[in-house]
Amino acid sequence: MIMNHSLSTSRLDNWLDCRYGAMLREQGWELIFPALAREGGTLVHHILSMVYAKQKKGTSQARFIKTQIKAWTVQMKLKSSQQKWLEEVEELAAYYEVVLPEYFKYWKDVDSPEWLDFEEKSQKDNLFRFSLLLGKTETVTLQGKRDALRAVGKKKSVWVYDHKTHSRIDPSTFISKLKIATQSKLYALVTNEQYENFKGLVYNVIRGKSMRVGKKETLQQFQDRVYDKIQEDPSHFFFRLEIPFTQAEIKTFAEDIRAQAKEYIAWKMGNLPTYRNGSTKICCGVFACAYLQHCANPTTPIEATGLFERRIRSAKITHTS
Ligand code: SF4
């Protein structure tokens, strides 16, 4: 009899970062006010996927971007009436109103109908499921979602596209960081299994907001300044990094992921302890961990902080035999 476990890639990724954070996440604890930069990143992902999937161009593209940003702004503003939050939402919306049309303009001669799939073209098709043998009688099915897939050139080489909206980027470590990320390893492993001519990952960077509205500046003046900055140096705002993977590397990734999935399953079954990672690199990295303020006051129960609410029921790894 074969025992099969089913596990989402984001769950494994969270667990590798910190078991305590993974436990809170699996219990459904989420920030009442999410990090706005992350919410902006979700908006960008959605717009890119939809524009590419539906081949929107010209005025229809411009209209679509505007409408989506407007709808996002309304949704974000419903989360709080605090002046600071409302201003930050307006500012971020104004930023992407300028940046996104320029992004599509910048890549218009390169982007073509070579796309194979998108996050939102067919949610179902693009969800990948990949079965990995853990032992003689045990497998794990890893599930996840790629941003986009593209087949390029005469040989139809397959690349996974991953959209990133970082504002601060350290060029000396950026590629290595991306290459060793669990998400990258999984994308490589799964796509290599699905497509014979898989080549690697392309990180499609759209620079996140680091510019602020000046004290005496209107939103329109801010947008003009962002526009001018893009014209001065568009490659600072938009760039793509190709990271090819060799078959030997992919084999190593499979070994890593097999060992990690085994440990995760053991933890989930109560055979490994839960503890706070406490590494400042994980707790307060590029994006601070959502639970930072809770962990900084560990004797206060999470429900008493007033910062979190429980949104979903604990999701379990499923086991079938
Ligand atoms: S703040 Fe640090 S210790 Fe706490 S859950 Fe996040 S990563 Fe873990």
CATH number reported for the structural domain that contains residue 293 in this entry = 3.90.320
Q: Using CA positions, which residue lies closest to atom 2 of ligand 1?
A: 283
- Angstrom distance (rounded) from CA 238 to CA 231: 11
Convert the chain into a string of H (helix), E (strand) and C (coil).
CCEEEEEEHHHHHHHHHCHHHHHHHHCCEEECCCCHHHHHHHHHHHHHHHHHHCCCCHHHHHHHHHHHHHHHHHHHHCCCCCHHHHHHHHHHHHHHHHHHHHHHHHCCCCCCCCEEEECCCCHHHHEEEEEEEEECCEEEEEEEECCEEEEECCCCEEEEEEEECCCCCCCCCHHHHHHHCHHHHHHHHHHHHHCCCEEEEEEEEECCCCCCCCCCCCHHHHHHHHHHHHHHCHHHHEEEEEEECCHHHHHHHHHHHHHHHHHHHHHHCCCCCCCCCCCHHHHECCCECCCHHHHCCCCCCHHHCCCEEECCCCCCCEEEC
**Distance from residue 16's CA to the centre of ligand 1 (Å):** 11
pLDDT tens digits along 287-301:
789 999 999 998 999
Average pLDDT for 72-93: 92
pLDDT tens digits along 22-78:
999 999 998 887 788 889 999 999 999 888 877 778 888 999 999 999 999 999 998
Average pLDDT across the chain, whole number = 86
**Distance from residue 205's CA to the centre of ligand 1 (Å):** 27
Q: How confident is the model at residue 313 (pLDDT cuts 50, 70, 90)?
A: low
User: Could you tell me the pTM of the whole model?
Assistant: 0.83
Query: Do residues 303 and 51 touch, judged by C-beta distance below 8 A?
Result: no
For the record, the structure tokens of 254 come out as 């499979």
- Burial class of residue 7, CB neighbours in 10 A (0-12, 13-18, 19+): buried
31 lines ligand 1 (CB under 6 A): no
- Angstrom distance (rounded) from CA 171 to CA 173: 6
Confidence (pLDDT) at 57: 80
**Distance from residue 297's CA to the centre of ligand 1 (Å):** 11
20 lines ligand 1 (CB under 6 A): yes
What total number of domains does the chain contain?
A: 1
**Distance from residue 204's CA to the centre of ligand 1 (Å):** 28
Q: How confident is the model at residue 315 (pLDDT cuts 50, 70, 90)?
A: very low
- Angstrom distance (rounded) from CA 190 to CA 160: 10
277 lines ligand 1 (CB under 6 A): yes
Q: Which of 275, 287, 291 to mutate to test the pocket of ligand 1 (most atoms within 8 A of CB)?
A: 291
293 lines ligand 1 (CB under 6 A): no
Confidence (pLDDT) at 113: 63
125, pLDDT greater than 80: no
Q: How far is CA 316 from each of CA 25, 64, 249, rounded to the nearest angstrom?
A: 12, 38, 31
> What is the residue type of 268?
K
Confidence (pLDDT) at 148: 84
pLDDT tens digits along 166-209:
887 777 777 787 778 888 888 899 889 888 899 999 999 999 99
Q: In what order do the strands lie in the sheet with 198-206?
A: 115-118, 148-152, 157-164, 198-206, 238-244
123, pLDDT greater than 50: no
More confident residue, 2 or 305: 305
Domain of 7 in residue numbering reads as 3-320
Crossing angle of helices 58-77 and 36-53, rounded to 10°:
150
> In ligand 1, which atom is closest to the CA atom of 24?
5
Average pLDDT for 216-224: 95
286, pLDDT greater than 80: no
